[in-house]
Structure 1
Amino acid sequence: MTTVTGKRELLDLVSFDANGLVAAIAQQHDTGEVLMLAWMNRAALEETLATGRVCYFSRSRGKLWRKGETSGQVQHLKELRVDCDGDAVLVLVDQTGVACHTGRRSCFYRAARQGGVETILDVETDPEKLYGSRD
């Protein structure tokens, strides 16, 4: 069965938390690689749907965060999905460059293995080149 709804109906499916946020999982659309977890508020979702460039809400800065705005590591929206409870969205993207602020392709670069933690992804891009000095 296929049901087509508009952007407003999609937004109405989202159950924002007490802070007005919803968890957003970014996934590379063609490979299925999970890139990152971030947060969106209604304005970030609206902007993402309107522009096709992914926008999140930065909890630490208290404002919208347009992925790639300073680093150039942009996420282009391919599809946005809402989970069954409406308390998470899956953002299928075409990622330009790396997704993680550490310079790795994915934020999920550490794995629990044999009783320890192993780094499974190398740094691809020097974070200082992406963001400048953080001092």
Structure 2
Amino acid sequence: MPSTRHTYELLNRLEQVLHRGTAEITDWELRLWYGQERIGVTVWRDIYERWMELHPDPAAEASVLTAGTGHGYIFIRGDGLVTNKTHWVELRDRARLSASDRARLAEEAHAELTGGINAALESGAGM
């Protein structure tokens, strides 16, 4: 997994997708961040899991489409978009996660989100 410094950069790019709708990550960045020569399913699973943690409604399977550019990848927020998988590929498809794995990740992210909200309310921060 990426070092702390690189984790922040990855999360920054995913937040760009969430709020701006698009971001680019180059091949060399992914190889540097993950310390791997080949960008394989392990990298895509980690990116997908981090995306699910960031999404404001983790219970909803938020769509992120990716396309190779020859030197990296373009990520776009694809809510409501459909792809024929010729050029644009769902992030969850690159991660090769089963439906049950995706549901488990969504439940974990939702529990983390609601747990933080409940803790804030109990501490009086919501007042």
Greater relative contact order: 1 or 2 (C-alpha under 8 angstroms, separation 6 or more)? Answer: 2
- Normalising by structure 2, report the TM-score: 0.24
Which structure has greater strand proportion?
1
- Normalising by structure 1, report the TM-score: 0.23
